[in-house]
A = this chain, B = another copy of it.
């Protein structure tokens, strides 16, 4: 029985929100702190926007609540049936709804101890008990560690990014499959926000594991962070549960601009391949330069590199880079506080980063 005389404030769900990377107003800053893409979206996206302006009067109508055009384009691109795709307002929206749908049914949620820091925030939002699983010394996922321990009771679910963030390290598909094999009784989410820069997707595993949900985003590889589109792929039944929760939350999440421009982006696969490959190539060059400068970093398969220098603290490098007009991300978290997460920008930007680092060191 609830206590009497509670105020409205006593009844509020109190939470500590996620803190996103800084968005500076100064356009002269080399902004390598939020893993944005340095290249513009496809020319087809701009054309779709012009079409949108010509049809501005259609904004008065509700958008297609199923985002059919976008879902069908993704289905074709991913070679899966449309019934296996769920779309949302960025992959954070997709993940927030997935936590609500799949992870609130009792038991403990597992995710890596060094990972996307929003997982902890969602778990707290929904009051889901969680346990973090340590990475190996060389910052890899240890698949054997992703199973219920005696302290967990049963598992509420498992979530991990591949490649992991902020490390950039890719788990081989065999490791993802080992986790799925060991955990058929909970949903396993593989967050592939950074998969398009050279890593392998878990998509082929969908045929074998009906509890697998793969989440991807338009924010990084498609240069559309400003539009807010993310999506999930899973078996039809699992996607059906997620849709039921979504349609119990907000019928219309993707507006007309997102549906039109998102569809245009998916249809331009040539540009997508070109830009993601350019970024992967710049990453390889930049990683080599970091080696030359004495940095320590795991091999990245994402659009960022996670690096530390034996002679300098992370905080010190962060401030010195900033003083030189370069913004990178730093996490004041035990074990990684000497690392910087540096987004891969255009080649000339990364050359400038190397030049400034040479000066600092």
Residues of A205-236 whose CB lies within 8 A of B: 210-211, 219, 223-228
CB of A323 closer than 8 Å to a CB of B: no
Most chain B C-beta atoms within 10 Å of own C-beta, residue among A11, A106, A251: A11
CB of B45 within 8 A of CB of A56, answer: yes
Complex interface: stretch among A137-145, A242-250, A294-302, A313-321: A242-250
- Report the Cα distance A100→B122, complex, angstroms: 13
Q: Which of B53, B105, B255 contacts A11 (CB 8 A)?
A: B105
Q: Which of B60, B65, B241 contacts A38 (CB 8 A)?
A: B60
The contact string, 1 if C-beta is below 8 Å from chain B, for chain A 22-45, is 010000000100101111110001
CB of A257 within 8 A of CB of B227, answer: yes
Q: Name the B residues within 8 Å of A9 (CB-CB).
A: 237, 241
Complex interface: stretch among A85-93, A160-168, A283-291, A329-337: A85-93
Q: Name the B residues within 8 Å of A124 (CB-CB).
A: 248
CB of B223 within 8 A of CB of A8, answer: no
Q: Which of B11, B57, B92, B157 contacts A250 (CB 8 A)?
A: B92
CB of B12 within 8 A of CB of A241, answer: yes
Most chain B C-beta atoms within 10 Å of own C-beta, residue among A5, A37, A250: A250
Q: Which of B37, B62, B107 contacts A36 (CB 8 A)?
A: B62
Most chain B C-beta atoms within 10 Å of own C-beta, residue among A226, A244, A251: A226
Q: Name the B residues within 8 Å of A60 (CB-CB).
A: 36-41, 223-226
In the complex where A11-B102, A60-B39, A185-B7 touch, is A228 in contact with B248 (Cβ < 8 A)? no
CB of A63 closer than 8 Å to a CB of B: yes
CB of A101 within 8 A of CB of B12, answer: yes
Q: What 10 A-B pairs have minimum CB-CB distances, sorted nearest first?
A: A11-B105, A17-B247, A40-B57, A46-B56, A226-B256, A60-B223, A49-B53, A59-B226, A257-B257, A2-B106
Binding site for B on A (CB under 8 A): 1-2, 4-18, 20, 23, 31, 34, 36-41, 45-46, 49-50, 52-53, 56-65, 89-90, 92-93, 96, 100-107, 121-122, 124-125, 153-154, 156-157, 184-187, 210-211, 219, 223-228, 237, 241, 243-258, 261
Given contacts A15-B244, A17-B248, 14 further A-B contacts (CB under 8 A): A4-B154, A6-B154, A11-B157, A12-B101, A13-B104, A14-B241, A16-B244, A31-B61, A37-B60, A39-B60, A46-B56, A60-B225, A96-B249, A257-B257
